[in-house]
Structure 1
Amino acid sequence: MVCMHMQMLDQHLHCPTFGTHRFLSQSYPSIAGESVTNLRYSPITYPSVLGEPLHGEDLANSIPKGGLDWERALRCLRHALRTTPSPDWWRRVLLVAPCYRSQSQQSSTPGAVFSPDMIGEAVADRTIELLKLTNSETQCWQDWLLFADIFFFLMKSGCIDFLDFVDKLASRVTNSDQQILRSNHVTWLLAQIIRIEIVMNTLSSDPRKVDTTRKIISFHKEDKSLDANNIGPQSILLDFISSSQTLRIWSFNTSIREHLNSDQLQKGKQIDEWWKQMMKASGERMIDFTNLDERATGMFWVLSFTMAQPACEAVMNWFTSAGMADLIQGPNMQPSERIMMMRETYPLSMSLLSGLSINLCLKLAYQLEETIFLGQAVPSIAMVETYVRLLLIAPHSLFRPHFTALTQRSPSILSKSGIMVKARR
Structure 2
Amino acid sequence: MQVYVVGGAVRDRLLGRPVADRDWVVVGESAESMLAAGFRPVGRDFPVFLHPETHEEYALARTERKVGRGYHGFTFHAAPDVTLEDDLARRDLTINAMAEDEHGNVTDPFGGRADLAAGVLRHVSPAFAEDPVRILRVARFAARYGFAVAPETMALMRQMVDSGEVDALVPERVWQEVAKGLMEDTPSRMFLVLREAGALARVLPEVDALFGVPQRADYHPEIDTGDHVMRVVDYAAAAKAPLPVRFAALLHDLGKALTPPDVLPRHIGHEARGKAPILALCERLRAPADCRDLALITAQYHTLVHRAGELRPDTLLKLFRDCDALRRPERFAMLLDACLADARGRLGFEACDYPQADWLAAALAVARAVDAGAIARGCAAPQDIPKAVDAARVAALADYKNAHPLPARS
TM-score, structure 1 normalization = 0.29
Rg (Cα) greater in structure: 2
TM-score, normalisation: structure 2: 0.29
